[in-house]
Structure 1
Amino acid sequence: MRQPTTIRRRPFAALAAAVLTATLTVSGCGAAGSSAKDDSADKAAAAPHQADAKGAVDAPSAAPGTAKGATTKTPVPSQNYVVRTATLSVEAKDSVAAALASARTTVTGAGGYVGDENTSRDSQGLEHSTITLRVPPDSYDKVLNDLAGLGRLIERKVSTEDVTSQVVDVESRIRSQQASLARVRELMSRTTQLSDVVTLEGELSTREANLEALQAQQASLKERTNLATVTLVLSEPEHPASAPPPKKDDGFWESVGNALGTGWHAFYVTLRGILIVLSVALPFAALGLAGWFVFVVVRRRLAPPAVVPDGENVTAEAVTGE
């Protein structure tokens, strides 16, 4: 008799567990003070909140974050957003410093500003400078013409990029992300379960980081479209090589005088060279002569006396006696 009773209660226990789980979920999202007697009413009232919680917690953090059934309308751009860039290579008329001063005056007068600057000299001593300028789009063409007039234009390169679709996409994603954050904060204000609070806080941090990244991208796009970028490369003009003096056609006597002058100069140079060589060699010659004299004296003193034969001595004495 007990076995059928046990079989009948197992489905009831499973159903009760499911109802209890649904009750806890519903009470954590929007019906914290409800009792078990009002399970059916709580489930009906909390169904929309469960959908929001699922969209806010279970959805991937990289998605813009829209709840089920919600639709986002793509905004229509009020204008075209274009990024303009240009590069000008100009050989300055006089000096690079003067051309740089004129470029700064032109850009600031048009409402722009001067960015990075790099000035150097090459192996020939010529000055080169590269400067980055930010110019409003309304004055873009006029500023380019004024900068090209700073000297001889060597190269001009202009490019444009339409980023309207990127701007619209980023704005739409920002609005969706802001709406998603508002829903997550609303759910956090109503939930009482610690596990749900922890999950929602993690999701909130992730979506706040995504929103900040989108806002930074939006600021970068606006900065690039609000001001055009012009890179100006200035170079100093090369100095013309000095021409050799014209060759004169000398006369006869002038040629003779030039030849005598050249010969006298050669004689003077030769004589001066000889005197220089003698002056350098004189101390060594004096030292060598003194050494040779000492050597001769010492050799004579150390040499033995000469031996004379007897016959020669008798003859010498006889000659002396006579």
Structure 2
Amino acid sequence: MKKLLIPLLLILFIGLSASAGCMMADSESQSAPMAAESVVVYDRNTAVESQVLYSDQKVIRDGWIRIQSKDARVASEEITAIAQRYNGRIQSLSLTSGGMMDGREQFSAHIVLRVPSDSFEAVMQEIESVGTLTQREVQSRDVTAEYTDLHAEKRALENQVNHLTDILGKAETVEEILKVQSAIDSAQQNLDRVTGRLKLLESQIDEATITVTVREGEPIGIDSGFSITSILNTGIAAFLFMIGIIIVAVFALLPLVVIGGIAWYIVKRGKS
């Protein structure tokens, strides 16, 4: 009986081992689809979470203003002060000379401001009061969908980089390490691109852009620069112009005078 019991126990042990191996293989084969499914669910959840977190409307606002002013330089200083009063900043400012007119030099200014979006309308109205408004244009662009998608893509790429980094720590062969590292580099490059785009978008959302063009209008009356100085300058210019004409006339007629003098001398001598 004991001789039969030992072989039976061995057969039972081998059978249990084989069934356990099959169960482990089945569980491993099922783990991969479950992991892939969990990743898909995570991505979907990320998109849903992003829509909840960033449900507020995201708008980029741009404005363009053209005004006429008696003095473009003074107007530029006033516009700079307006931007600073609303915690804005001057992105660029250029003054261009348009030459002399009515005895004074004419200028035009081109200014680009960045101001907080919630102060956009107030700043626009104050700038319009600096001079005479000739053109006003406002453009609003809704970027809510793009903003939400970029946040979802960023979180997914961050998760991908972390997951690949864990896999890299478990890689054994050189080939595996190179493949995983290449995938990490590609994911990191995409993450940097998305992060940069997102920062630019957030900057444009937080700060509105206002472009101002200032031109000096044609002066009228006393404020036109028509002063004693301009009268004297105009008189001196006219006097010098007449002197120039006289000099040119003298040099133009001088050969005729010389020839006429010689002819008169010859005729007079012949008569005598």
- Give the TM-score, by structure 2 length: 0.66
Inter-partner Cα distance in structure 1 for 2:119 and 2:107? 29
Between Structure 1 and Structure 2, whose CA radius of gyration is higher? 1
Greater fraction helix: 2
Deviations 1:226-276 (A, max 9, x none): 00000101000113499xxxxxxxxxxxxxxxxxxxxxxxxxxxxx99x95
* Pair 1:48–1:89, CA change in 2 (3 A): farther
Q: Deviations 1:266-303 (Å, cap 9, x if unpaired)?
A: xxxxxx99x956752378569989xx9xxxxxxxxxxx
The percentage of aligned residue pairs carrying the same residue is 18
For 1:158 and 1:99, how far apart are their aligned partners in 2?
21
Corresponding residue SS for 1:67: helix
Judging by fraction of residues, say which structure has more strand. Answer: 2
Is this contact kept in 2: 1:51–1:67, CA < 8 A? no
Aligned to 1:9: none
Deviation of the 1:187 alpha carbon: 0.8
Corresponding position of 1:192: 172
The correspondence for 1:90, drawn from 57, 64, 67, is 67
| Residue of structure 1 aligned with 2:87, choices 111, 128, 134 | 111
Q: Aligned to 1:67, which of 39, 44, 47?
A: 39
1:281 and 1:131 map into 2 onto residues whose CA distance is: 66
In 2, the alpha carbon distance for the partners of 1:199 and 1:51 equals 22
Pairing partner for 1:79 from 17, 42, 56: 56
Number of the residue aligned with 2:218? 238
Distance 1:96 1:283, change over 3 A: same
What pairs up with 1:166-315 in 2 under 5 angstroms? 166-240=146-220, 280-281=258-259
Secondary structure at the aligned position of 1:72 is classed as helix
> Aligned partner of 2:59: which letter?
V
Cα deviations by residue, 1:15-65 (Å, 9 ceiling, x for unpaired): xxxxxxxxxxxxxxxxxxxxxxx9868756755775699x7xxxxxxxxxx
Q: Specify whether residues 278 and 225 from structure 1 end up closer, same or farther in structure 2 by C-alpha distance, changes over 3 A only.
A: closer
- Deviations for 1:163-222, whole angstroms, at most 9, x for unmatched residues? 111111110110111111111111111121222211111111111000001101100110
**Secondary structure of 1:150's aligned partner:** coil
Q: Give the distance between the partners of 2:217 and 2:119, measured in 1 at CA.
A: 28
Q: Give unpaired runs (5+ residues) of structure 1.
A: 1-37, 56-65, 243-271, 293-322
Give the total of aligned pairs.
211
The answer to which structure, 1 or 2, has the higher relative contact order (CA under 8 A, 6+ apart) is 2
TM-score (norm 1): 0.57
Does the aligned pair in 2 maintain the 1:51–1:68 contact within 8 Å? no
Partners of 1:141 and 1:68 in 2: CA distance: 44
Q: Which ranges in structure 2 are unaligned for 5 or more consecutive residues? A: 1-19, 225-249
Name the CA distance, whole Å, in 2 between partners of 1:187 and 1:277: 103
